[in-house]
Amino acid sequence: QSVLTQPPSVSGAPGQRVTISCTGSSSNIGAGYDVHWYQQLPGTAPKFLIYANSNRPSGVPDRFSGSKSGTSASLAITGLQAEDEADYYCQSYDSSLSGVVFGGGTKLTVL
């Protein structure tokens, strides 16, 4: 049971837009702590995708965007491509645990 809740799976056709939600609580996202996102392609290490809710590191396509509101955050991917098929994880800080928490991960399938 992860502290941050993500849907187990989402899917979309090439070219479409998909969103992945990440729901927390008053001790993490709701407390104002930033949310960060990672993309994990099959058999590889996670790749840093979004930091501080909505910022893209250098080299990440602008098809990826993040947002945060209240106790939740979202990752949006537009212009879906086959290469986007991967697992996506959200991450934040939790004051009750005094540490890092991850979402359970969402598997994105490109139809």
Partner 1 sequence: QLQLQESGPGLVKPSETLSLTCTVSGGSISSRTYYWGWIRQPPGKGLEWIGSIYYSGNTYYNPSLKSRVTISVDTSKNQFSLKLSSVTVADTAVYYCARHAFASGILLWFDPWGQGTLVTVSS
> What is the contact surface with partner 1 in residues (CB under 8 A)?
2, 33-34, 36, 38, 44-48, 51-52, 57, 89, 91, 93, 97-105
What's the DSSP call for residue 83? G
Rounded to a whole number of angstroms, the minimum distance from the CB of residue 17 to partner 1 is 24
Rounded to a whole number of angstroms, the minimum distance from the CB of residue 86 to partner 1 is 13
Q: Classify strands 47-50 and 36-40 as parallel, antiparallel or unpaired.
A: antiparallel
Rounded to a whole number of angstroms, the minimum distance from the CB of residue 51 to partner 1 is 5
Nearer to partner 1, 16 or 99 (CB): 99
Nearer to partner 1, 38 or 72 (CB): 38
Nearer to partner 1, 72 or 93 (CB): 93
Is the CA virtual torsion 49, 52, 54, 59 positive or negative?
negative
By CB neighbour count within 10 A (0-12 exposed, 13-18 middle, 19+ buried), where does 103 fall?
buried
Quick check: helix, strand or coil at residue 82? Answer: helix
